[in-house]
Structure 1
Amino acid sequence: MGITFVRKPWSEEESLACLDDDVREWFKGRFKTLTPPQRYSFKLVSMKKNVLITAPTGSGKTFSAFMVILSELFRLGKEHRLEDRVYCIYISPLRALDNDIYKNLLVPLSEISRKFKGEVDEIRVGIRTGDVSSYEKQKQLRKPPHILITTPESLAITLNSLRFVEKIKGAQWLVVDEIHELASSKRGTHLSLTIERLQHMVEDGFVRIGLGATLHPLEEVARFLVGYENGKSRSCTVVDVSWFKPFDLKLVCPTEDIVYTDADELNQLMYKELERIIEEHHTTLVFTNTRSGTERVVHHLKQSGRFPEESIAAHHGSLSRGIRWDVENRLKEGKLRVVVSSTSLELGIDIGYIDVVVQIGSPKSVSRCVQRIGRSGHGLEDTAKGVIIGMDRDDLVECGVMLECVKKRRLDRVHIPCNCLDVLAQHVVGMALNRKWDVKEAFDVVRSSYCYHSLRYENFVSVLHYLAGHYADLQDRSIYGKIWFDEEDGVFGRRGRYTKVIY
């Protein structure tokens, strides 16, 4: 038990030996060699170890997690032993990343299956997010995907779908992608409880695999991933190959006198600098800090007339799914000269080759700076090239410090929210919807989460009282009970027929 670091990779021969013969043949025909994280992960995942992998964008993290899983599914498929249930659950913070992983997994599945010409059971991959229709979800009940791709919120809702939850009780692997993005917010707190509730449902437990590019401190993120069992941290092996990719990063100022240059002139000089960078490169990815800023930059670049309008695009969360997919595909196909984004392209979506990343203004954190600049030079041996354009004195000082931190390989510390009672209340209602709970049993499940390991029993009971509506003065604010709670017998459960609808 505990957190350990693996320092020495296995040989390529040892790593590939973990794969099924046909999967290994496909992999060797598709790739020249194993990437650094794959030299560690194939063996560890095959040994059914919990693994946290931190590696830069474009280093093959996805296949680091999935190749052994696909190999095991193909072995079952060739023996016609694939059951109609979920074997692997993949979780990411973005629906766009879910769609990207779905497309990337279909490539090996279709190419390897083609060899067997129907003599192997079909391995199904399915997405279950807010974008998926009710009809598609009904189909998944009849023919569940063997690999389920979802988001933290959708997985939590799935735990209260009593018919579908039967399909995930036999899950063997759980993959959490971009774990740094989740761990630092209440979405991660919410997810940690969802995982522990799932762990409580799955009879034999499952292997946990965490993926991320900018993780610090690694021990704390590893504990967040694996949680606790019987009061002790579950075991996890950390693979740290985060800094093998070289960086070419510089900070520029559009003017020699930033103090006395007025805002309009500074903006014009910034756009001149940006246009110069775009002209010197084949494909440029520009990051702003707001969606409105993204639209302003796109509007100016189109108005300038220096680049064809069809070669300029915006990408952010306020755009429809169809527009985002079109931009991602055109970018991957090399049809765009410049794409401007706020945050939606900073995570691991496969967007093809980017020559240079431009950040307008401070990215506000070292980790975000590394994450965004790492989107360039998407190949293993490529240099990540980035330019930060400082727009005021604060930007210049802040970004100067960031560059020094990158040079010294220092990342921001992840601050994981703990003991959040609002998140806990939501999950307690979800637990009550499934069945009647013994309070001590429910408390043990909650305390298995890293985020609630230090929760006091009396605080847990006070949340139960609150949700049961025992605080009479709250009725004046139209707050009524969502559960029933019998403190004397130490049990609680759902209240009313409409609680599930409210949840």
Structure 2
Amino acid sequence: MTSPASPLASFHPLIQAWWQRRFALDPGASAGTARGAAATTAEFAPPTPAQADGWEAIRAGHDTLIAAPTGSGKTLAAFLHSIDALTREAMDNGGLPDEVRVVYVSPLKALSADIHRNLAEPRREMREIAQELGLPPVHLTAAVRSGDTPASERAAMLRKPPHILVTTPESLYLLLTAERSRAMLRTATTVIVDEIHAVIESRRGPHLALSLERLDHVAGRRLQRIGLSATQKPIEEVASFLVGVDRDVSLADGGARTGTAPGQSADALIDRSDAAGPAGERGAQNVRARPVVIVDRGHVRELDIALELPPSPLEAVMSGEVWQEVYDRIAALANEHRTTLVFVNTRRLAERAARALSERLGGEAVTAHHGSLAKEVRLDAEERLKNGTLRVLVATASLELGIDIGHVDLVVQLGSPHRIASFLQRVGRSGHTVTGTPKGRLVPLSRDDLVECTALLAAVRAGELDRIIMPAAPIDVLAQQIAAEVAAEEWNEDALYALYTRAWPYRTLSRERFAETVQMIARGFSTQRGRRGALIHYDPVSRALRARRATRILALTSGGAIPEVSDYRVVLEPEGVVIGSVNEDFAVESMAGDVFQLGNTSWRVLQIQQGTMRVADAEGAPPNIPFWFGEAPARSDELSAAVATLRAEVAARLGDAPGDPGRRAEVAAWLVEACQVPESAAEQLVLYLGDALRVLGALPTHHTLVLERFFDDGGGMQLLLHAPFGSRVNRAWGLALRKKFCQSFNFELQAVATEEGVLLS
């Protein structure tokens, strides 16, 4: 059916026929192809390079990390070989036992549910094609297990395990801890970790790494691990995180290879068995990652990206009139496209922008999507966008990853997302096909935001990417996983230490540190009535670890690394339907009769109870916008460096005449050409930075810091440190300066940090 040289040639004829029908270039020829007629490569789209290289590595049994731009078919590359293997087994044995074979892990519940839905159609199509080809039917089952899964479906999953289990890192931890679900995982052979970059920088990363080692132990063998991501740097570190540590071989020397640029030959299949890990706590003991093949097709693809500015000049804070101009421009862009996805950085702005756009485009054409909306509300918004009844969807990072929301023509980003990878992921939601071109428009919201957005576009065009910073051996996560594993079975302390230090984040954990953690959860804490809170029993003679009576239930109810939030559920009366949630402070400050907006709909508060806010439809009454508290993402070091570089270049070109109109015009013309920004954006940027250079004497960069002292209206002295290092660095710097001033001069200061500096007052 396919050429022997085709990457599809090694697949079962049923899989080949399905591919030719699903990706037929001539729809009229697809039926004949499905019935086994000869086909040339011109009749159907060939696999992408990432898919072809990925299949070669996966088929050889290697752990594999696939890095490729959004829309390049990474998920299908990971799944298709497993589906092929299950199909062959079913054909050879007359069916498949009810056993879990593939575990798919994604960082978002919504992404897990989306993958489950997208697996249903190919399985149905394969059954139809098998019938047409006269082959026995293949019944592949798949199920999703996440926090949104109803109890009835969880119970059914235990009675009849699916062949493909779709889950999240937190639910995988629960499955490994509960007795019956732990037994269900013993037959697994493959684990797929999607959007791996989304968990690796938080405590969820080490938590997942320990769960993967536990999964290997439960299965009694080393599972094949497949990782997927579109944005990852350094790729060698991500690959090491995926596969963990090889303790059996000592490292003589090692080196890290660089990734393969897009368009190079299939030499992108690189063995990672020679990559060294840092020494860390273990001192002289060297560790290295297990062998892994990296399929690196890069993160760069052709993009249609540009700045969009309102007609009025930007200020330090955007006025209400300028906001109206921004919304007018977004509405105009939406009218020029079939579907538009608007990304914002906060849930409050998502609700506010959705309401403003609804006034311009109609309430049925616009809605909001964020994590404080109920699952049903989010799914309804996604389906409406997919089937074309919704023209504009305003979303936070809840839609940033690879969720299938159908064809999106345009992505608009309101304000800088503060990370290069986030911008690439969000723009990649449009043109999300192998041949599509993502189209994005970036709307700066202030003068400093204009500088950052200009630097962001320049960094994207230069192929820059944020560097991943992985938490090193967090002890709170380790203690949680020790208690969970001991709750499942009795362990020897040395054996559990050997298991957990195979996880890459814990590769340098010392034996003494591990023993201290075991002692902490075995002894609990001291109170006036004795010791309390012990989670496990520890035998110092045999070093045996055993669970206490309540250990398992505590591990199951208190697991995970996502911070707990005290939100109030919003319940619609009299139906009793959960709409979403609001922050506790907003709920406490509200009163019966207040009207607020959630999900682009107005609700009237009926009653506020402990943990629950009961509401009724306000029938379009003007609402307040609720607020939520959360830690905003800090600007990445790479984007901060791009901002500093842009400032330094503008300062150098302005020279000693920052106020000269001719010099400013020359710099503006350079910005238009070099950074590909509109002329109005270049003029505003040069005006802002030129005035700052004239007043301060220098522009703050990574090599030049500026201290500015001024007095407020009350006569209080303010000290401003201009430092474009991003709020992650500046917050720590502000706390240190505040403490130093207190120790040196014996008086208290207040410190406020932003992306651009630190204010001491």
TM-score interval (norm. to shorter): over 0.9
Which amino acid in the other structure matches residue 33 of structure 1?
A: P
User: Taking every aligned residue pair, what percent have the same amino acid on both sides?
Assistant: 38
Match of residue 554 from structure 2: 502
Tell me the alpha carbon deviations over residues 155-204 of structure 1, each in whole angstroms, 9 at most, x when there is no partner: 00101122222221121110001111011111111100000111122223
Deviation, 1:470, is: 5.5
CA distance in 1, matches of 2:149, 2:404: 21
Aligned to 1:285: 341
In structure 2, relative to structure 1, the CA distance for the partners of 1:226 and 1:356 (3 Å cut) is same
Q: Secondary structure at the match of 2:439?
A: strand
1:63 aligns with 2:76: yes
Q: Does 1:33 align with 2:46?
A: yes
Partner of 2:485: 431
| 1:78 and 2:91 are equivalent in the alignment | yes
Q: How much has 1:424 moved relative to structure 2?
A: 0.5
Q: Bigger CA drift: 274-283 or 389-398? A: 274-283
2:161 to 120, 138, 144: 144
What is the rounded CA distance, in whole Å, between the counterparts of 2:89 and 2:449 in structure 1? 55
Say which SS state the counterpart of residue 459 (structure 1) adopts: helix
- Larger mean CA deviation between 284-293 and 121-130 belongs to 121-130
Q: How does 1:265-280 map to 2 (within 5 A)?
A: 265-280=321-336
Give the equivalent residue in structure 1 for 2:302: 246
* Matched residue type, 1:444: A
Mapped partners of 2:444, 2:221: distance in 1: 53
Gaps of 5+ in 1: 1-10
CA deviation map 1:9-29 (0-9, x unaligned) = xx9834112211111111122
Structure 1 474/213 Cα, relative in aligned 2: closer, same or farther at 3 Å? farther
Which residue pairs with 1:185 in the alignment? 202
Q: Is the 8 A contact 1:95 1:151 kept in 2?
A: yes
| C-alpha spacing 1:491/1:244, structure 2 compared with 1 (3 Å) | same
Distance 1:499 1:202 in 2: 23
- Where do residues 217-366 of structure 1 align in structure 2 (5 Å cutoff)? 217-230=234-247, 231-243=287-299, 245-259=301-315, 263-304=319-360, 307-366=361-420
Contact 1:245 1:382 in 2 (8 A): no
**Using the alignment, how far apart are the partners of 1:285 and 1:474 within structure 2?**
57
1:106 alignment partner, SS class: helix
1:90 to 104, 115, 128: 104
Give the SS at the match of 2:10.
Answer: coil
In the TM superposition, residue 336 of structure 1 has moved relative to its aligned partner by 1.6
The answer (yes or no) to whether the contact 2:300–2:463 under 8 Å persists in 1 is no
Pair 1:81–1:474, CA change in 2 (3 A)? farther
SS at match of 1:208: strand
1:215 paired residue number: 232
Equivalent position of 2:152 in the other structure: 135
C-alpha spacing 1:423/1:243, structure 2 compared with 1 (3 Å):
closer
Say if 1:254 and 1:391, in contact at 8 Å, map to a contact too: no
8 Å CA contact 1:158, 1:165 repeated in 2: yes
Shift of 1:418: 1.4
- CA RMSD, aligned part only? 1.9
* Whole-angstrom CA distance in 1 between matches of 2:325 and 2:172: 47
Is the Cα–Cα contact under 8 Å of residues 93 and 178 in structure 1 kept in the other structure? yes
Q: Quick one: distance in 2 between partners of 1:474 and 1:180?
A: 45
**Deviation by residue 1:445-501 (Cα, 9 ceiling, x = unmatched):** 11000110011111111111110125536978x851011112332221111x22222
Task: Kindly provide the CA deviation profile for residues 1-43 of structure 1, in whole angstroms up to 9, marking residues without a partner as x.
Answer: xxxxxxxxxx983411221111111112211221231121122
Q: Secondary structure at the match of 1:57?
A: coil
Whether 1:481 and 2:534 are equivalent positions in the alignment is yes
TM-aligned CA distance change 1:482 to 1:28, over 3 Å = same
Query: Which residue in 1 is equivalent to 2:515?
Result: 461
Amino acid at match of 2:320: D
Instruction: Output the amino acid matched with 2:192.
Output: V
Normalising by the residue count of structure 2, what TM-score does the alignment of the two structures yield?
0.62
What's the offset of the Cα at 1:290? 0.8
Map of 1:45 onto structure 2: 58
Q: What letter matches 1:34 in structure 2? A: P
Task: Select 1:162's aligned residue among 166, 179, 199.
Answer: 179
Moved more, 344-353 or 33-42: 33-42
* Alignment-derived partner of residue 718 in structure 2: none
Q: Which secondary structure does the structure 1 equivalent of 2:314 belong to?
A: coil
CA distance in 2, matches of 1:408, 1:318: 36
1:203 aligned onto 2:220: yes
Contact 2:318 2:445 in 1 (8 A): no
CA deviations over 1:312-368 (Å, ceiling 9, x no partner): 121111112112111111211122211100111111011111111100011010110
C-alpha separation in 2, matches of 1:179 and 1:260: 37
The residue aligned with 2:701 is: none
CA distance in 1, matches of 2:95, 2:60: 21
Post-superposition Cα deviations, 1:377-407, rounded to whole Å, max 9, x if no partner, equal 1222222111111011221111222111111
Equivalent position of 2:468 in the other structure: 414
> CA–CA distance in 1 between the matches of 2:195 and 2:234?
15
Q: Would the alpha carbon gap of residues 68 and 228 (structure 1) be closer, same or farther in structure 2, given more than 3 Å must change? A: same
What is the letter of the counterpart of residue 245 of structure 1?
A: R
User: Retained in 2: the 8 A contact 1:77–1:123?
Assistant: no
Aligned-partner Cα distance in 1 for 2:532–2:441: 52
Deviations 1:419-466 (A, max 9, x none): 100000100100110122111110011100011001111111111111
Shift in alpha-carbon separation, 1:300–1:423, aligned structure 2, 3 A: same
The amino acid of 2:407's aligned partner reads Y
